Structure 1
Amino acid sequence: MKNGVLALAVLISMGMTSTAQAKQDVCVFDLLGKAGESYKMMEEWRLAAKGWNADIQLIAYQNEERADEDFKAGKCDAVYMTTMRARSYNKFAGSVDALGGVPSNAIAQKAIVYVLDKRNIKRLKTNIDGVDYEVGGIGQIGPAYIFVKDKRINTIEKGVGKRFAVLEYDKAQIAMVKRVGAIPVPSDVSDFVAKFNKGQADMVGAPAYAYKPLEIEKGLGQTGAMVDFPVLNVTADLIFNTAKFPMGFGERSRTWFIKQLPRQFAMVKRLEDGIPAKYRIDLSKEEREKYQKLLRDGRIELTKQGIYDASMMSVLKRARCSVDRTNFECSLGGE
């Protein structure tokens, strides 16, 4: 009997050791591959994860679609990619980058911290085709601005009939571009700026993170400009297969991501400061309000279509109005 108990104890111990030592492959998308800021942050996350009984190997991707495909195929146990693409795994977290929903870093901070709060644990878990997925973190990439080939395209009306490079998998972008009367040019993260640079698109939306790596300056030339109004806040989500990671891993990971936010916002500021002032177009108060109304109407419609999560739209509105109580939308219903 004693031998049987001893053998059972040894087997349990071996099982626990095996679980602790199980390796996890994580696909990481970064425009610059291993040289990028996102990948470097994930390297630090990997080291921290050792303390959470995870033994992680990062796999760098400069093609986001391939990273997602490999994750779906089970070649990776988790994936770190833009929230726009990750929305298909979790609409709640995936709506934090709603068009016009997060117009400043102060609001972004509030929104991301709220999403990752332990009170939202159920909302951060989904089951798709029998697989349990969980959001393990949200990283800040930065506000996206509209870059134009011709600085005379400085109002919404002047964008009518212009070609706008959009991410073809993001229905929200496509719908919004059509709403302003522009022509969507279907693209991927790997080529959306290239189409702008080559003259295949007159306009493109991108964060400062992409400015130097994707050589947006080439597309701007002598006549181009950046409209200094953030149309959306670009973030990245860590999505993982819950069964492949130790118990409690998600909560520890999310806590770690929240602690990185101040550093990430500092990175965004540094990258934005690197864009020459000569390219910036400041909008009038009237024009800014036009953009805000357009984006608000778009969010409401996209939420009705089921693209955005309704509860997240309410959260974002509260965050916006807590920072700017004089905003016209704060007295309006609908979100």
Structure 2
Amino acid sequence: MRLRSLTAAVCLGLAPFAQAQDKEIDMCVFDLIGSSGDQYALVENYALDMRDEGIKFNLEPYTDEGVAMSAFSAGDCDALAATDLRIRRYNAFTGTLSAVGAIPTYEHLEMVLTAINKPSASKYMKEGNYEIAGIFPLGAAYLFVTDSDMDTVEDLAGKRIATLKNNPDHEHMVNYVNASVEPSAITDFGGKFNNHSVDAAYAPGWAYEALELYRGVGDEGGVVDYPLGQLTMQIVVRDDVLTDEEAQTSREVAMDHFDDALDRLKEYESDIPEEDWVRIPDSDIADYQEMFRQNRIELRDGVDADGDEVPEVYNGEMLTLLRKVRCRINPEASECTAPDRE
């Protein structure tokens, strides 16, 4: 009896100590530049804050996103930080954030992320055996061109566009404008653009310096000043890694870093020389927006305007949310009353 009492006392004495220990989770982090890159630094700052919540992330940098994905799939890590283009396979809802033309400005993006990071939206963060535990902005993606005269849809016909492999929405858009798909990877599209193996490439503003895309822009090219999409970095975890409360806290902690990340992105965009921006006339923007909208609908429904099958890529519930945000900011837009609105 006395032995049992002693054992119980020891266990009770150790309980506070056990509770104080951090839960440790190995995370694979993709950053093209590695541990010295901005994306890794963003996740690192998030991880520091998560220590205050009793969760310790052991970060492992990967400069190849495909290798990071393979490591996650193989169980080498229980969390993965990668672009939404790759995370889409784990969650179609959050993977639709980068839908072409769906989030025109950073104001729209902040409204969307604020909405989906609320506890009431937590059910959308889970899909199958995975859960999204955080989302960070990676910047608006623009069309970098080797010839600044390519400023209309018609000008893109026949042109070679670096298109990321395994992203059917990008391929669909390139085909839609009658351009030529040049299959590329995150690791090589910049080189193709810089040596003019392609006529255009799709990238966030920070790539101008980080990937030296100014070389491809040269004296004749430019950056078309209309966001084709908003890229995000997302953290996905296996569903049994975090409790529901921990996952919600994680998403809120990630959202706390939105402003700092956005400030950095805007700095990169402001560093692009004014003469390299290709400004789109306001009169053309409505046509671009309608073209993007029709593309999104086709990639939601899996059928194009001719009745032919196309990949079903976009999540309809996310597209509806994005449309509501756009119409809240611009209620006079024609899409807000269109009979086929998203």
Global fold match (TM > 0.5): yes
- One-letter code aligned to 2:327: C
Q: Which residue of 1 aligns with 2:77?
A: 76
Q: Which residue of 2 aligns with 1:222?
A: 219
Identity %: 30
SS at match of 2:198: coil
- Say yes or no: does 1:263 pair with 2:260: yes
- Of 178, 181, 193, 1:184 maps to 181
Q: Which residue of 1 aligns with 2:320?
A: 314
Residue 32 of structure 1: CA displacement? 2.0
SS at match of 1:33: coil
Residue 275 of structure 1: CA displacement? 0.5
- Say yes or no: does 1:238 pair with 2:238: no
Residue 78 of structure 1: CA displacement? 0.6
- Say yes or no: does 1:44 pair with 2:45: yes
Indicate the larger mover: 71-80 or 9-18: 9-18
SS at match of 1:227: strand
* Contact 1:137 1:238 (C-alpha < 8 Å) held by counterparts: yes
Q: Which runs of 5+ in 1 are unaligned?
A: none
Residue 243 of structure 1: CA displacement? 2.2
SS at match of 1:150: coil
Indicate the larger mover: 279-288 or 72-81: 279-288
Q: Which residue of 1 aligns with 2:273?
A: 276
The number of residues matched between the two structures is: 331
Q: Which residue of 2 aligns with 1:169?
A: 166
Residues 5/106 of structure 1: CA separation in 2 closer, same or farther (3 Å cut): farther
Q: Deviations over 1:222-242 (max 9, x none)?
A: 111111111101111111123
Q: Which residue of 2 aligns with 1:330?
A: 336
Q: Which runs of 5+ in 2 are unaligned?
A: 303-311
Q: Deviations over 1:12-34 (max 9, x none)?
A: 96799399444321111112212
Q: Which residue of 1 aligns with 2:88?
A: 87
SS at match of 2:206: helix
Q: Which residue of 1 aligns with 2:144?
A: 147
Q: Deviations over 1:85-119 (max 9, x none)?
A: 10100011111111100000110001111122211
Residue 11 of structure 1: CA displacement? 6.5
- One-letter code aligned to 1:324: N
Residues 291/5 of structure 1: CA separation in 2 closer, same or farther (3 Å cut): farther
* Contact 1:54 1:246 (C-alpha < 8 Å) held by counterparts: no
Structure 1 CA distance for aligned equivalents of residues 156 and 144 of structure 2: 12
* Contact 2:50 2:253 (C-alpha < 8 Å) held by counterparts: no
Q: Which residue of 1 aligns with 2:65?
A: 64
Q: Deviations over 1:193-219 (max 9, x none)?
A: 211112221111111121111000111
RMSD, aligned α-carbons: 2.1
* Contact 2:148 2:220 (C-alpha < 8 Å) held by counterparts: yes
* Contact 2:116 2:122 (C-alpha < 8 Å) held by counterparts: no
SS at match of 2:285: helix
Q: Deviations over 1:226-281 (max 9, x none)?
A: 11111101111111123234562211111111111122221121110011111111
Q: Deviations over 1:281-310 (max 9, x none)?
A: 111123212211111000000011231110
Structure 2 CA distance for aligned equivalents of residues 39 and 57 of structure 1: 12
Structure 1 CA distance for aligned equivalents of residues 49 and 167 of structure 2: 32
TM-score by length of 1: 0.93
Q: Which residue of 1 aligns with 2:127?
A: 126
Q: Which residue of 2 aligns with 1:295?
A: 292
- One-letter code aligned to 1:145: Y
- One-letter code aligned to 1:28: V
